[in-house]
């Protein structure tokens, strides 16, 4: 018996989603994949930095413990000129912060506490010394070094001359505004309270940075 052959039809290739996409859709898809890779790489880098930071904190703790056991024998002697260089740098940093505060103080719409937190953010960053092995801001690094060299002197600079110059900006703030005598008086008082609180907070940060170094050494 002859079996009639059924004509074969050519198999159609499976249509992939890409084939259905327009060039514009393909560009969007490629951009999405690139963005996902960037996000994945960013997360990987952040994890690596966190691990590196923890390792650096442990190394610092061991070094501080070694320095304590040596009773200061391993600490290099710091000359008066070297100390003067670092504190001259601190003075420049504080002068620049005062200049920035003076520019912002003339606008009564800016809250005093917000102004001071903005211009003194590099000093207030010392609060995070326990979580960060090395401050990102070079200005914070300079303050931390100065606090390790002479804690008391740095606190005296902040709570003494710097505080007085910061309080003097209260008058400029009132003169720059267009307020009446009552609101001007209230604005001056608010600035003085914020300036005193900011300086005390910075001094506390300085002591805290040194105490954290010591507690890490003991741990």
For the question of whether the overall pTM of this predicted structure is more than 0.75, the answer is: no
The CA-based angle 210-214-219, given to 5 degrees, is: 145
In order along its 219 residues, the chain shows pLDDT tens digits of 444 554 555 555 555 555 567 888 888 888 888 998 999 999 999 898 889 888 988 887 888 788 778 776 777 888 999 999 999 999 999 999 999 999 998 787 889 999 999 999 999 999 887 888 888 899 999 999 999 889 999 999 999 999 999 999 987 776 655 444 555 667 788 999 999 999 999 999 998 877 665 555 455
The whole-angstrom separation of Cα 163 and Cα 201 is 12
Tell me how far apart the alpha carbons of residues 211 and 107 are, in angstroms, rounded to a whole number: 38
Q: What angle, 0 to 180 degrees and rounded to 10, lies between the N-to-C axes of helices 80-105 and 112-119? A: 140
Q: Distance between CA 135 and CA 91 in Å, rounded?
A: 19
pLDDT value for 186? 75
Rounded CA separation 179/181 (Å): 7
22 class by beta-carbon count within 10 Å (0-12 exposed, 13-18 middle, 19+ buried): exposed
- Distance between CA atoms of 217 and 116, rounded to whole angstroms? 33
Closest CA to 162 of 212, 110, 123: 123
CA angle 112, 114, 116 (to 5 degrees): 70
The CA distance from 169 to 163, in Å, is 10
Q: How far apart are CA 61 and CA 55, in angstroms?
A: 10
pLDDT value, residue 88: 97
């Amino acid at each position: 018996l002859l079996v009639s052959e059924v004509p074969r039809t050519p198999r159609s290739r499976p249509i992939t989603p890409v084939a259905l996409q327009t060039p514009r859709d393909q560009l969007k898809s490629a951009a999405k994949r690139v963005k996902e890779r960037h996000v994945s790489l960013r997360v990987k880098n952040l994890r690596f930095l966190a691990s590196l930071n923890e390792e650096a904190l442990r190394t610092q703790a061991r070094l501080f413990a070694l320095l304590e056991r040596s009773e200061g024998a391993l600490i290099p002697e710091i000359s008066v000129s070297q100390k003067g260089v670092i504190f001259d740098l601190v003075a420049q940093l504080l002068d620049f912060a005062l200049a920035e505060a003076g520019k912002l103080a003339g606008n009564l719409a800016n809250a005093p506490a917000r102004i001071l937190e903005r211009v003194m953010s590099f000093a207030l960053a010392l609060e995070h010394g326990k979580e960060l092995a090395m401050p990102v801001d070079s200005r914070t690094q300079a303050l931390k070094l100065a606090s390790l060299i002479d804690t008391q002197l740095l606190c005296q600079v902040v709570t003494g001359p710097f505080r007085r110059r910061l309080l003097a900006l209260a008058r400029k703030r009132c003169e720059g505004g267009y307020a009446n005598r009552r609101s001007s008086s209230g604005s001056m008082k608010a600035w003085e309270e914020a300036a005193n609180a900011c300086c005390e907070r910075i001094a506390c940060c300085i002591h805290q940075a040194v105490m954290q170094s010591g507690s890490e050494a003991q741990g």
